[in-house]
C-alpha cells in the first residue's frame, strides 16, 4: 500500500513542505560519479576494469541484497557466478560479529571515547576486523557517528563515541583504519541526523501504538550540519572508509536514503566520498528516486523485510532498460562497491562465510526465511585470537574516576568487603539470555539492539572482586545481588569495611522495548531499583564506593555530595572482560586515566535538548527542529551557564598533573581558496540490450521463493515490475538534472577527501608542558580547546587531544597542531568554510572546564 506512493516520495515531500511550511531539503542532482581520487586510484581502476566486463543484470546483482534471511549474513548481495564472484556478506555490529559464536564481545564505542586513546581505537578496530574477516564477513556495519548524542537519553548513543564531533571523528577514523587494515570494509553510519529512536520508522512506531505514517524528520540548518553532525563523517571519509549507511529518519522531510542534499551534495560532491552508500535495513523507500539521490546498495534487498518485493533487483534492471535511470548511474554504483572491495584487499583476504546469523546450531537452512536446503551452516570457527587482553585493557583504560576521597585504590586486604547490587552479578538467564541483549538483568556490559554481539563469557564484577580478595587471603567478602533484599543489604553494609555498590542504566535500539523504554531512555536515573540500594548502603556504611555501568550520564549530583560515598567510577559498557577491567583499577594495578566523553548534568532538563516522545504533526512525520544549533552537551552547559555535576573531559587519577608553558606558533601556508573546475563526464562502462527478452529468468534456474533476483518474469516491463504506477511520465518523478552525465562544477568546499584540501592544512603548532606532580605513574589526556570568538560560537570547542603516560616527576612537552578547519565556521551563503575576524583563543588543560593555559591565536596572514 505504501510502496506505490513512496515511488514518488521525493516529489511528495516537496509538495507537503510547501503546503505546510515544513522544513525542506533542496534537490541536488545529478548524483556525483566516483573518480578514483587520491588513495582510491588503484582500487578504482581495478573496479572499472571489473565492472566493464559485467552484464546489466550482473551489475544490478552487486547493488541489491538477496532478501532478509535468505543467506547467512544479515545482508548479502547477489553474486556473479559467471566470474566466480560470491555475494558480499554484510554483518553487524560496531562492537563485534553479531549473531554468532566464538567471537569477542568488545567494549562499546562510548568506552573507546572514554579512553581518549587513538591507539586503542585503532587496535580495537583491527581486532574486530580480524574477527569479521575470520568469519567470512566482507563489510562490518560500523563504526557509528550518528547518533552523535544530541540528547543524553538517545537510545543508541553508546554505539557511537561522544557528542563532541572532534573526539568522535578522531576515534571513528582510527577505528576505520584498524578495521580496514584487517582486510574488511568498514561502514560509517547512520547518515545523518539519526538522534532518536522514537519514530525513526513509522511501522515500528505503529507497533508501539503511535498513529503515524512517516518517520521523524530531523530539521537541521546547514551551519549546524557542517559544524557538528557532518564533522566526524568527514573524518571517516578522510580515513578512507569503504561504505556509508543512510539512516531511517528524514532530514528536512526527505528520507535519509532518498535525500539528494545529504547524499549527492554533502557526502559525494563536497566530501568527495568514493565508496558506496547502502540503505539501513528497511530504510530504502523508492526505486528510481533513491538511485538518483545517491543510494548505491539496497539492504537487505527487499522492500519490506521478507516480502520478496524489491525497489531494485528486477525494478532496477527495468529502470535502466526503460531509460529512467541512466546506465552511468548503475555503473557508478557497481564501481563504488568494487572499488571499496579492492581498496581493503578483499580479493586477497576473503575466506568462505562459515557462520549463520539465524542459528548457532551446526545445521540449519541455507535460506532460513523460506526454510529451504538444510545443510551445515555453522563451522564454529573461533576467531577470538588473544583479543581478551586488549578488551581488558580498553575496559580498564575507559574507567572514569569521578570522585575519590582517598578510598581508592583498595588493597584487597580490607577486612570486610560487601558487593551490593544486581549489576555486580550474573543474569539468571545467562549473559546472552535475552535476544540482542534486550533486557537489563545482572551486570550490564552491552546495550541492546543490532549493535551487539553474543558474549563468549562475561566476567562479572562479583566474580573478579571475589578472586581478588581470595588471592590476598585476608578479608571476608559477600555479595547481595538481589536489589529487593533490603535487610541483607543493610546487614552487610553496616558490617563492611568497604561497600562496593553497583548501579546501571541501559538503552538500545527502537525495535526492542525494555521496561517501557522504546530504545531511548525515559529518564536518566538508574535501573533495577538500584537507587534504593545506594540509599540503604550509604545510610549504613561510611565507605561506600559506587560503580556505574551504563550507556551515558545518570543523575549523580546527590551521590557526589554524599560524604559516605567515598569514590565513584563510571565503567560504561566494558564487554566480556567487565569484572577484570574493573578490579585492575579498583585495586590499583591500573591507574585510571579515562575522561568522561559526555557531560553529567544534574537532570535531563539541564541538557536543553529533549527528545520528541510524542508525535507532533498529526499522522504525518513528527518534526524535530534542532533549534539549539551546535549547542549540545558541554557547549549548551557553557552557554546556559549551567554547572554540570561532572564536566565533559573530566576524570581523576591516582596521581596529579600540572600544566605549564603554552606555546603557539603559526605555520605558514597558502591562503584558502574555493575549489574550482569541472569533473569529467560520467563514464559508461559497456553497453546493454534494450530488448526485455534478454533479461528474462534463465530457464534452468531453481528459483528460491521470495528471493531477490535481477531478472524479469515477463517481457512486458509493467507486468514484470508489478508496480501499479509503472510507466508514470518520467517528468513526474525524475528530478531536473538527475540524468545529466555531463561534467559538473566542483563545489567550493569540495575537491578532496573530506572536503576542500585547504581545510586540512595545519595552520598552528601548539605545545604545552605536562608534569606528573604526584607519586605514581599515570595517564593524562591533555585537551586543547579553541574559542572561535564570535557571538554565535560556543565558549570553547575541543580541537585536539592525546593520551600520554608519565612517571612521577616526569615532564613532557605535548605538541599538537590545528588545521584550518579547526578555526573555521561554515558560511551558508558562500557554501564554504571561512575564518572569521573575531579574536580567537587557544586553551589547554585537563577538561572542558579546567583550562589553566590560554593564549591568543595570532591572525593568519
Ligand atoms: C534544511 O533546511 C535548512 C533551512 O532551510 C537548510 O539550511 C539546510 O541546508 C537543509 N538541510 C538539508 C539536509 O536539506
Ligand atoms: C544474482 O545473484 C543470485 C544470488 O547469488 C544468483 O543466483 C544469480 O545467478 C545472479 N545473477 C546473475 C545475473 O549473475
Ligand atoms: C517494483 O517496485 C514496486 C514499488 O515501486 C513494487 O510494488 C514491486 O513489487 C516491485 N517489483 C518487484 C518485482 O519486486
Ligand atoms: C521504468 O521502470 C521503473 C522500474 O520498474 C518504473 O518505476 C518506471 O515507472 C518506469 N518508467 C517508465 C517511463 O516506463
Ligand atoms: C530478566 O529479568 C526479567 C525481570 O526480572 C525477567 O522477567 C526475565 O525472565 C529475565 N530474563 C532473563 C533471560 O534473565
Ligand atoms: C527510570 O527508568 C528505569 C528503567 O525503566 C526505571 O527502572 C526507573 O524506575 C525510572 N526512574 C524513575 C525515577 O522513574
Ligand atoms: C554515614 O554512615 C554512617 C555509618 O557509618 C551513618 O551512621 C550515617 O548516618 C551515614 N550518613 C549519611 C549521610 O547517610
Ligand atoms: C566510619 O565508620 C567507622 C565505624 O563504622 C568509624 O570507625 C570511622 O571513623 C568512620 N569514618 C568516618 C570518616 O566517619
Ligand atoms: C556490446 O558491444 C559489443 C562490442 O561492440 C557487441 O559485440 C555486443 O553485441 C554489444 N552488446 C549488446 C547487448 O548490445
Ligand atoms: C511475475 O512477478 C510478479 C512480481 O513478483 C508476480 O506478481 C507475478 O505473479 C509473477 N508472474 C509469474 C508468471 O511468475
Give me ligand 7 centre to Cα 692, in Å: 83
Question: Would you say 339 and 274 are in contact if contact means Cβ atoms under 8 Å apart?
Answer: yes
Mutate to test the pocket of ligand 10, among 310, 701, 713, 714 (most ligand atoms within 8 A of CB): 713
20 — pLDDT class (breaks 50, 70, 90)? low
Atom nearest to 26 CA in ligand 1: 14
Question: Is the CB–ligand 2 distance for residue 87 below 6 Å?
Answer: yes
Q: Has residue 452 been placed in a domain? A: yes
Nearest to 675 by CA among 272, 274, 276, 275: 272
Question: Is the CB–ligand 7 distance for residue 539 below 6 Å?
Answer: yes
Claim to verify: residue 759 and residue 830 sit in the same structural domain:
yes
- The pLDDT of residue 714: 98
- The pLDDT of residue 729: 87
pLDDT digits (tens, 9 = 90+) for 770-819: 999 999 999 999 999 999 999 999 999 999 999 999 999 999 999 999 99
Claim to verify: residue 577 and residue 664 sit in the same structural domain:
no
Claim to verify: residue 491 and residue 638 sit in the same structural domain:
yes
Q: Has residue 185 been placed in a domain? A: no
Inform me whether the pLDDT recorded for 8 exceeds 50: no
Give me ligand 1 centre to Cα 839, in Å: 29
Inform me whether the pLDDT recorded for 317 exceeds 80: yes
CATH number at residue 636: 3.40.50.1700
In whole angstroms, give the CA distance from residue 317 to residue 298. 14
Please give the model's pTM, rounded to 2 decimal places. Answer: 0.97
Residue appearing with cell numbers 557508478: 332
DSSP assignment of 175-233 equals HHHHHHHTT-EEEEEEETT---STTSSHHHHHHTT---SS--EEE--HHHIIIIISHHH
Mean per-residue pLDDT of the chain: 96
Question: Is the CB–ligand 2 distance for residue 104 below 6 Å?
Answer: no
Mutate to test the pocket of ligand 9, among 54, 59, 687, 688 (most ligand atoms within 8 A of CB): 687
In whole angstroms, give the CA distance from residue 401 to residue 392. 17
Question: Would you say 197 and 155 are in contact if contact means Cβ atoms under 8 Å apart?
Answer: yes
Claim to verify: residue 769 and residue 798 sit in the same structural domain:
yes
Tell me the three state secondary structure of residue 833: strand
Side-chain half-sphere of 822: how many Cα atoms within 13 Å?
Answer: 29
Tell me the three state secondary structure of residue 263: helix
176 — pLDDT class (breaks 50, 70, 90)? very high
Claim to verify: residue 666 and residue 580 sit in the same structural domain:
no
Q: In which region does residue 291 sit, left (phi positive, over 0), alpha (psi from -120 to 50) or beta (all else)?
A: alpha
The mean per-residue pLDDT over the stretch 391-417 comes to: 98
Q: Has residue 475 been placed in a domain? A: yes
Nearest to 71 by CA among 373, 368, 350: 368
Tell me the three state secondary structure of residue 678: strand
Claim to verify: residue 553 and residue 491 sit in the same structural domain:
yes
CATH number at residue 844: 2.60.40.10
Atom nearest to 689 CA in ligand 9: 13
Q: Has residue 244 been placed in a domain? A: no
Claim to verify: residue 591 and residue 665 sit in the same structural domain:
no
Going by alpha carbons, the residue nearest to atom 3 of ligand 9 is 687
Inform me whether the pLDDT recorded for 4 exceeds 50: no
Q: Has residue 254 been placed in a domain? A: no
Residues 513-539 as b or e (16 or more Cβ within 10 Å = b): ebeebbbbbeebebbbebbebbebbbe
Give me ligand 4 centre to Cα 727, in Å: 5
Question: Is the CB–ligand 2 distance for residue 57 below 6 Å?
Answer: yes
Question: Would you say 138 and 341 are in contact if contact means Cβ atoms under 8 Å apart?
Answer: yes
Claim to verify: residue 671 and residue 594 sit in the same structural domain:
no
**What residues contact residue 743 under an 8 Å CB cut-off, 6+ apart?**
678, 679, 680, 681
- The dihedrals phi and psi of 522, each to the nearest 5 degrees, come to -75, -20
Give me ligand 1 centre to Cα 797, in Å: 23
Cα–Cα distance list, 514 to 105, 107, 763, 807 (Å): 21, 21, 49, 46
The mean per-residue pLDDT over the stretch 70-75 comes to: 98
The mean per-residue pLDDT over the stretch 696-714 comes to: 97
Domain housing 440: 386-610+622-646
Determine the distance from the C-alpha atom of residue 184 to the mean position of all C-alpha atoms in its chain, rounded to a whole number.
17
Domain count, the chain: 2
pLDDT digits (tens, 9 = 90+) for 727-752: 988 888 899 999 999 999 999 999 99
Give me ligand 4 centre to Cα 56, in Å: 16
Q: Write out the three cell numbers for 855.
A: 593564549
Q: Is 633 a catalytic residue?
A: no
Give me ligand 9 centre to Cα 686, in Å: 8
pLDDT digits (tens, 9 = 90+) for 609-663: 999 999 999 999 999 999 999 999 999 999 999 999 999 999 999 999 999 999 9
Atom nearest to 310 CA in ligand 3: 14
Inform me whether the pLDDT recorded for 467 exceeds 50: yes
CB atoms within 10 A of CB 595: 31
Question: Which alpha helices (H) appear in 387-449, and where do they start and end?
Answer: 387-397
Inform me whether the pLDDT recorded for 7 exceeds 90: no
What is the 3 state secondary structure string of 471-532? Answer: HHCCCEEEEECCCCCHHHHHHHHHHCCEEEEEEEECCECCCCCECCECCCCCCCCCCCCHHH
Q: Starting from the CA of residue 222, give the closest ligand.
A: 1
The mean per-residue pLDDT over the stretch 220-231 comes to: 98
Cα–Cα distance list, 366 to 69, 71, 155, 353, 727 (Å): 9, 6, 33, 12, 37
Q: Has residue 542 been placed in a domain? A: yes
Inform me whether the pLDDT recorded for 404 exceeds 80: yes
Beta bridge partners of 144: 189
- The pLDDT of residue 731: 82
The mean per-residue pLDDT over the stretch 254-278 comes to: 98
Considering the candidates 117, 138, 164, 280, report the single residue annotated as catalytic: 280
Q: In which region does residue 486 sit, left (phi positive, over 0), alpha (psi from -120 to 50) or beta (all else)?
A: alpha
Going by alpha carbons, the residue nearest to atom 2 of ligand 9 is 687
Mutate to test the pocket of ligand 5, among 429, 431, 504, 529 (most ligand atoms within 8 A of CB): 429
Going by alpha carbons, the residue nearest to atom 4 of ligand 10 is 722
Q: Has residue 235 been placed in a domain? A: no
Claim to verify: residue 416 and residue 557 sit in the same structural domain:
yes
Give me ligand 3 centre to Cα 687, in Å: 25
18 — pLDDT class (breaks 50, 70, 90)? very low
Inform me whether the pLDDT recorded for 199 exceeds 70: yes
Beta bridge partners of 418: 478, 499
Determine the distance from the C-alpha atom of residue 239 to the mean position of all C-alpha atoms in its chain, rounded to a whole number.
15
Give me ligand 4 centre to Cα 287, in Å: 9
pLDDT digits (tens, 9 = 90+) for 540-580: 999 999 999 999 999 999 999 999 999 999 999 999 999 99
pLDDT digits (tens, 9 = 90+) for 231-240: 999 999 999 9
- The pLDDT of residue 416: 98
Inform me whether the pLDDT recorded for 680 exceeds 90: yes
Mutate to test the pocket of ligand 10, among 714, 716, 717 (most ligand atoms within 8 A of CB): 714
The mean per-residue pLDDT over the stretch 683-707 comes to: 96
- The pLDDT of residue 161: 98
Inform me whether the pLDDT recorded for 28 exceeds 60: yes
Q: Has residue 424 been placed in a domain? A: yes
Claim to verify: residue 639 and residue 667 sit in the same structural domain:
no
Question: Is the CB–ligand 6 distance for residue 153 below 6 Å?
Answer: no
Claim to verify: residue 528 and residue 671 sit in the same structural domain:
no
Claim to verify: residue 487 and residue 553 sit in the same structural domain:
yes
Within 6 A (CB) of ligand 10 lie 713, 722
Residue appearing with cell numbers 550507556: 551
- The pLDDT of residue 1: 26
- The pLDDT of residue 3: 30
Within 6 A (CB) of ligand 1 lie 23, 25-26, 220-222, 251-252, 261-262, 828
Strand 185-191 relative to strand 243-246, pairing: parallel
Amino acid at each position: 500500500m505504501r510502496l506505490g506512493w513512496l515511488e514518488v516520495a521525493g516529489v511528495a515531500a516537496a509538495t507537503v513542505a510547501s503546503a505546510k511550511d515544513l522544513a525542506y531539503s533542496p534537490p541536488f542532482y545529478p548524483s556525483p560519479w566516483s573518480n578514483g581520487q587520491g588513495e582510491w586510484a588503484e582500487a578504482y581502476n581495478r573496479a572499472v576494469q571489473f565492472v566493464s566486463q559485467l552484464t546489466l543484470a550482473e551489475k544490478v546483482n552487486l547493488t541489491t541484497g538477496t532478501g532478509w534471511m535468505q543467506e547467512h549474513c544479515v545482508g548479502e548481495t547477489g553474486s556473479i557466478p559467471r566470474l566466480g564472484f560470491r555475494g558480499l556478506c554484510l554483518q553487524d555490529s560496531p562492537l563485534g560479529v553479531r549473531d554468532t559464536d566464538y567471537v569477542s564481545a568488545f567494549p562499546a564505542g562510548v568506552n573507546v571515547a572514554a579512553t581518549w586513546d587513538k591507539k586503542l581505537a585503532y587496535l580495537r578496530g583491527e581486532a574486530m576486523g580480524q574477527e569479521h574477516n575470520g568469519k567470512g564477513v566482507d563489510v562490518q556495519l560500523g563504526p557509528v557517528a550518528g547518533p552523535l548524542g544530541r540528547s543524553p537519553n538517545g537510545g543508541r548513543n553508546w554505539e557511537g563515541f561522544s557528542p563532541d564531533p572532534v573526539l568522535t571523528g578522531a576515534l571513528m577514523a582510527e577505528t576505520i583504519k584498524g578495521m580496514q587494515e584487517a582486510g574488511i570494509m568498514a561502514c560509517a553510519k547512520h547518515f545523518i541526523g539519526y538522534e532518536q529512536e522514537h519514530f525513526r520508522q513509522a511501522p515500528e512506531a505503529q507497533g508501539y501504538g503511535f498513529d503515524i505514517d512517516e518517520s521523524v524528520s530531523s530539521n537541521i540548518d546547514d551551519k549546524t550540519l557542517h559544524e557538528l553532525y557532518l564533522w566526524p563523517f568527514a573524518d571517516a571519509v578522510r580515513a578512507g572508509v569503504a561504505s556509508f549507511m543512510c539512516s531511517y529518519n528524514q532530514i528536512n522531510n526527505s528520507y535519509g536514503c532518498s535525500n539528494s542534499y545529504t547524499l549527492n551534495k554533502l557526502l559525494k560532491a563536497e566530501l568527495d566520498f568514493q565508496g558506496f552508500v547502502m540503505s539501513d535495513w528497511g530504510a530504502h523507500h523508492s526505486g528510481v528516486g533513491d538511485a538518483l539521490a545517491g543510494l548505491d546498495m539496497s539492504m537487505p534487498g527487499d522492500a519490506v523485510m521478507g516480502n520478496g518485493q524489491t525497489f531494485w533487483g528486477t525494478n532496477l534492471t527495468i529502470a535502466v532498460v526503460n531509460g529512467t535511470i541512466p546506465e552511468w548511474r548503475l555503473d557508478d554504483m557497481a564501481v563504488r562497491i568494487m572499488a571499496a572491495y579492492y581498496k581493503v584487499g578483499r580479493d586477497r583476504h576473503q575466506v568462505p562465510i562459515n557462520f549463520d546469523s539465524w542459528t548457532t546450531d551446526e545445521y540449519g537452512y541455507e535460506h532460513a526465511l523460506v526454510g529451504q536446503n538444510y545443510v551445515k551452516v555453522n563451522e564454529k570457527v573461533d576467531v577470538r585470537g588473544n583479543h581478551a587482553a586488549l578488551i581488558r585493557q580498553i575496559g580498564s583504560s575507559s574507567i572514569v574516576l569521578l570522585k575519590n576521597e582517598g578510598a581508592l585504590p583498595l588493597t584487597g586486604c580490607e577486612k570486610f568487603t560487601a558487593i551490593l547490587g544486581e549489576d555486580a552479578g550474573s543474569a539468571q538467564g545467562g549473559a546472552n539470555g535475552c535476544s540482542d541483549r534486550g533486557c537489563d538483568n545482572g551486570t550490564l556490559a552491552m546495550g541492546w539492539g543490532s549493535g551487539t554481539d553474543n558474549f563468549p563469557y562475561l566476567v562479572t564484577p562479583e566474580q573478579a572482586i571475589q578472586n581478588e580478595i581470595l588471592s590476598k587471603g585476608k578479608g571476608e567478602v559477600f555479595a547481595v545481588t538481589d536489589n529487593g533484599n533490603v535487610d541483607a543489604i543493610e546487614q552487610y553494609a553496616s558490617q563492611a569495611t568497604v561497600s562496593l555498590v553497583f548501579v546501571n542504566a541501559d538503552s538500545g535500539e527502537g525495535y526492542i522495548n525494555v521496561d517501557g523504554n522504546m530504545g531511548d531512555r525515559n529518564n536518566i536515573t538508574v535501573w533495577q531499583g538500584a537507587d534504593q540500594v545506594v540509599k540503604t548502603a550509604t545510610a549504613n556504611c561510611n565507605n561506600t564506593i559506587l560503580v556505574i555501568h551504563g550507556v551515558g550520564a545518570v543523575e549523580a549530583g546527590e551521590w557526589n555530595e554524599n560524604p559516605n560515598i567515598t569514590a565513584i567510577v563510571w565503567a560504561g559498557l566494558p564487554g566480556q572482560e567487565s569484572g577484570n577491567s574493573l578490579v585492575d583499577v579498583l585495586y590499583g594495578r591500573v591507574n585510571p586515566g579515562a575522561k568522561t566523553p559526555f557531560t553529567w548534568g544534574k537532570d535531563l532538563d539541564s541538557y536543553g535538548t529533549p527528545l520528541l516522545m510524542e508525535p507532533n504533526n498529526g499522522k504525518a512525520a513528527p518534526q524535530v527542529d534542532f533549534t539549539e544549533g551546535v549547542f549540545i552537551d558541554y557547549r549548551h552547559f557553557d552557554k546556559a551557564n549551567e554547572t554540570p555535576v561532572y564536566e565533559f573531559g573530566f576524570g581523576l587519577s591516582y596521581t596529579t598533573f600540572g600544566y605549564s608553558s603554552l606555546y603557539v606558533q603559526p605555520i605558514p601556508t597558502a591562503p584558502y581558496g574555493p575549489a574550482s573546475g569541472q569533473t569529467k563526464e560520467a563514464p559508461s562502462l559497456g553497453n546493454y540490450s534494450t530488448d526485455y527478452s534478454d533479461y528474462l529468468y534463465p530457464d534452468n534456474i531453481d528459483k528460491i521463493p521470495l528471493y531477490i533476483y535481477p531478472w524479469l518474469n515477463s517481457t512486458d516491463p509493467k507486468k514484470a515490475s508489478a508496480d501499479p504506477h509503472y510507466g508514470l511520465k518520467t517528468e513526474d518523478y525524475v528530478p531536473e538534472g538527475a540524468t545529466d552525465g555531463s561534467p559538473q562544477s566542483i563545489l567550493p568546499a569540495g575537491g578532496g577527501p573530506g572536503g576542500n584540501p585547504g581545510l586540512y592544512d595545519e595552520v598552528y603548532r601548539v605545545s604545552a608542558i605536562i608534569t606528573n606532580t604526584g607519586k605514581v605513574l599515570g595517564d593524562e589526556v591533555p585537551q586543547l580547546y579553541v574559542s572561535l570568538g564570535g557571538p554565535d560560537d560556543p565558549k570553547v570547542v575541543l580541537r585536539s587531544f592525546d593520551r600520554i603516560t608519565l612517571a612521577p616527576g616526569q615532564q613532557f612537552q605535548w605538541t599538537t597542531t590545528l588545521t584550518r578547519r579547526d578555526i573555521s565556521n561554515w558560511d551558508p551563503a558562500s557554501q564554504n568554510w571561512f575564518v572569521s575576524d573575531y579574536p580567537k583563543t587557544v586553551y589547554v588543560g585537563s577538561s572542558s572546564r579546567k583550562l589553566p593555559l590560554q593564549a591568543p591565536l595570532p591572525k593568519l596572514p
